[in-house]
Amino acid sequence: MALYVYKFGGTSVGTPERIKAVAEKVKKAHDAGDQIVVVVSAMSGETNRLVGLAKEMQVQPTDREMDVLLSTGEQVTISLLSMALHNLGCEACSYTGAQVKILTDSSHTKARIREIEDTRIRNDLAAGRVVVVAGFQGVDEQGNITTLGRGGSDTTAVALAAALKAKECLIYTDVDGVYTTDPRVVSKARRLDKITFEEMLELASLGSKVLQIRSVEFAGKYNVALRVLSSFSEGNGTLITYEETEMERALISGIAFNRDEAKLTLTGVPDLPGVASKILGPVAAENIEVDMIVQNVAESGTTDFTFTVNRNDYLRARKILDDLCIQLGGKQVSGDNGIVKVSIVGVGMRSHAGIASTMFKVLADEGINIQMISTSEIKISVVIDEKYLELAVRALHKAFGLDQE
């Protein structure tokens, strides 16, 4: 008998029929003798419906009230799934985040989990019940309802798996695992049986939107074995583990890309200590997330500072930079919102030299100009013109041997 945490996203519980299918899956595992905790999201479409209602009330509703509103979405699903389980003769009990309770800080709409009380869940499991928990939501010390932000249901599932020391946390989604790259771009993209947390982190943050990045961080930190698999088909999905179990692993695990990038450059700023924070501080203050940051070595006392942001934030960021350019005595601001980022990811590159030069050569052979480069221990990212995206990804996928089974 082992304890598993199952998580089903909005698409997997998007209709009454799908909720019933989830109940069948859960009952099967429960009947096999395992202890099952199920974490569910709001039915797909529900969050948008609620956001629509909110927007009719107020252009910018307060975060506290948005959390009160949106948390009803999962609350509906937990009760429906419990009913579906009861209908199959399977004992089950539902809990909201506040009921569990999943204690968070008070950062509404993006709260962080502080602690999980597991007494009620353990009692229910011991009594042979399936426990159904609302994902995405928690409660702060004052009893206010909080939510964990986009993809927060994954985080709930992983946090519960950690708190309950579950054998595995199974994330059911609409894809059947993690792929070497997006199959819509490269038809030969393959599902990976295993991947390390670090690789997954890089892939997730770079645009392979299988799992929410925070849940992967959490899983890595608490050593929770995470499995991504499909609600709609059979198969073992992709296991995300801490250990590099395979000795002979590929150099590169996958190729990620992000279409929604824009870059901004501030040239000729005096190269003084603190200049980076003077530039990025005002950007962060406007809640604009910065992705890649590149600062070249200074020439004749000035430096050029380039960073990328989400394309939606381009105009706002540009305005901030225009102001800063005057304040800081810079030369000029330039930008481009027609760029994409392509990254190769793999723990193999730690112990193998020459990966970067191979990557750059592959791109050069295709006539693709590299505009920015940024590297980490297990990832190399380049910024290129958006028109080359598919070409670059396919060429790299082939060059690093990912086309082969």
- The structure tokens listed for 292 are 């890649």
Minimum CB separation of residue 190 from a second copy in Å reads: 38
Minimum CB separation of residue 321 from a second copy in Å reads: 32
Shorter beta-carbon distance to a second copy: residue 99 or 334? 99
Shorter beta-carbon distance to a second copy: residue 75 or 196? 75
Helix (H, G, I), strand (E, B) or coil at 41: coil
Minimum CB separation of residue 49 from a second copy in Å reads: 10
C-beta atoms surrounding 58 within 10 Å? 10
Residue type, 123: N
In the stretch 133-152, what mask flags binding to a second copy with x, by CB under 8 A? ----------xxx-------
Minimum CB separation of residue 143 from a second copy in Å reads: 5
Size of the site for a second copy (CB under 8 A): 38
Shorter beta-carbon distance to a second copy: residue 79 or 374? 79
Residue type, 140: D
Tokens 């695992």, located at residue: 177
Should residue 39 be labelled a site residue for a second copy when binding is judged by CB under 8 A?
no
Minimum CB separation of residue 118 from a second copy in Å reads: 14
Residue 293's φ and ψ, nearest 5 degrees, are -135, 130
Minimum CB separation of residue 12 from a second copy in Å reads: 15
| Measured distance CA(14)–CA(23) in Å, rounded | 13
Distances (CA, A) of 127 to 35, 93, 121, 366: 10, 11, 10, 62
Residues 9-28 that bind a second copy (CB under 8 A): 16, 19-20
Q: Mark 294-315 as b/e (b = at least 16 C-beta within 10 Å).
A: bbeeeeeebbbbbbbbbbebbe
Shorter beta-carbon distance to a second copy: residue 64 or 311? 64
Shorter beta-carbon distance to a second copy: residue 1 or 57? 57
SS3 readout for 248-316: CCCCCCEEEEEEEEEEEEEEEEECCCCHHHHHHHHHHHCCCCEEEEEECCCECCEEEEEEEEEHHHHHH
| Measured distance CA(333)–CA(308) in Å, rounded | 13
Residues 219-278 that bind a second copy (CB under 8 A): none
Shorter beta-carbon distance to a second copy: residue 72 or 205? 72
Should residue 41 be labelled a site residue for a second copy when binding is judged by CB under 8 A?
no
Minimum CB separation of residue 68 from a second copy in Å reads: 4
Should residue 377 be labelled a site residue for a second copy when binding is judged by CB under 8 A?
no
Shorter beta-carbon distance to a second copy: residue 56 or 234? 56
Minimum CB separation of residue 53 from a second copy in Å reads: 6
Minimum CB separation of residue 86 from a second copy in Å reads: 6
C-beta atoms surrounding 380 within 10 Å? 21
Give the residue from 257, 263, 342, 369 showing the smallest Cα distance to 307: 263
Near a second copy by CB under 8 A: residue from 28, 31, 58, 315: 58
Residues 95-124 that bind a second copy (CB under 8 A): 96, 98-99
Near a second copy by CB under 8 A: residue from 56, 234, 248, 377: 56
Shorter beta-carbon distance to a second copy: residue 82 or 258? 82
Give the residue from 210, 227, 176, 234 showing the smallest Cα distance to 21: 234
Shorter beta-carbon distance to a second copy: residue 91 or 365? 91
Shorter beta-carbon distance to a second copy: residue 90 or 252? 90
| Measured distance CA(356)–CA(370) in Å, rounded | 12
Looking from the CA of 326 toward its CB, the CA atoms found within 13 Å total 5
Cis peptide before 398 (omega within 30 of 0): no
In the stretch 66-95, what mask flags binding to a second copy with x, by CB under 8 A? x-xx-xx--xx-xxxxxxx-xx-----xx-
Binding site for a second copy (CB under 8 A): 16, 19-20, 50, 53-54, 56-59, 61-62, 64-66, 68-69, 71-72, 75-76, 78-84, 86-87, 93-94, 96, 98-99, 143-145
